Amino acid sequence: MVETRSRKAGTADAVAPTAASKLEASESSYERENIFLFMPNVIGYLRIVLAVASLYYMGLHPRTCSLLYSVSCLLDALDGYAARYYEQSTRFGAVLDMVTDRCTTSCLLVFLSTAFPRWIIIFQGLVALDLASHYVHMYATLSSGTNESHKNVDKSTSRILNLYYTNKSVLFTVCALNEVFFIALYLLSFSSPLLSPSLLKQVPGAQAIHHGDEASSSVIKQLFTSPYSAGALELARANKMDSTVPWIIASISFPVMALKQVINVVQLVKASQKLANEDIKARREKGLPRKKAL
């Protein structure tokens, strides 16, 4: 009996190194990969550079800013294609992509809240909804432990989210026109020829500036000790471009932008429900709630 057991143990010891050596050989057959240098992630870094550059020009140069911002947004579609083509889809890349999207859109909405202070609460609400919706959705996906992409949404969960995430044409169109609407609003902030006297500091002895006066070269001479004051920035933005095209773009893209906000609300609700269901399951596994003896 003892001899039989020792033989079995010896056999097991002989098999174990063989299995381990096979595993090591299998691992060594793959080159060590640097996730940070995957092509879609490199494109993501380029998007960040372009986005930061667009923010630098945002205050005074609308055409340069809009071009850089638009290219950054368009590269969002290219990194997804690269991830599929090179088989380099990673969770780091998904998070990088989502964080870049949220940050760039939030920065643009912050600018719009200063350009259109009457609607500041709307822009603040859009920032909060966008960040909350995507954060909760991503957290719910990663915490499920299924290693699935956040874009894998079943029809039984939500038909609109399933269509939004699984149909690439729908995803691109909704995201693109959502950004186009905010870019159009940004351009409209540079198309008003009217000045706000409360923001302007007049030179003593100069003629008074009244509400609704047009921003012209004669007005410039009455201003400013500081080129970075609110009034100076307003003057720099005034009369930059015609408002016709931005108004047309904003009108066309507004329904899609509104649809995107509906999707954000649905995503927030469904992700919250998913987290709550996971909490219920975890509590059941722990035997909670415990029944208290009467």
- Global pTM? 0.77
Residue 70 lies in a domain: yes
Helix (H, G, I), strand (E, B) or coil at 277: helix
Q: Tell me the pLDDT tens digit for each residue of 234-248.
A: 666 655 677 889 999
User: 175 and 66 share a domain?
Assistant: yes
Give the pLDDT of residue 120: 94
Give the pLDDT of residue 111: 94
User: 106 and 73 share a domain?
Assistant: yes
CA separation for the pair 236, 222 (Å, rounded): 14
Give the pLDDT of residue 24: 59
Range of the domain at 213: 197-237
User: 87 and 150 share a domain?
Assistant: yes
Q: Quick check: is 13 catalytic? A: no
Q: Tell me the pLDDT tens digit for each residue of 31-52.
A: 788 999 999 999 999 999 999 9
> Which residues of the chain fall short of a pLDDT of 70?
1-30, 147, 192-240, 292-294
Residue 266 lies in a domain: yes
Give the pLDDT of residue 211: 47
List 101, 130, 242, 279, catalytic entry: 101
Other beta carbons within 10 angstroms of residue 19's beta carbon come to 9
Give the pLDDT of residue 220: 47
Give the pLDDT of residue 228: 57
CATH number at residue 148: 1.20.120
User: 231 and 110 share a domain?
Assistant: no
CA separation for the pair 141, 137 (Å, rounded): 6
User: 96 and 112 share a domain?
Assistant: yes
Give the pLDDT of residue 163: 94
Residue 29 lies in a domain: no
Give the pLDDT of residue 25: 53
Give the pLDDT of residue 107: 96
Q: What total of structural domains would you count in the chain? A: 2
CB 146 within 8 A of CB 153: no
User: 47 and 102 share a domain?
Assistant: yes
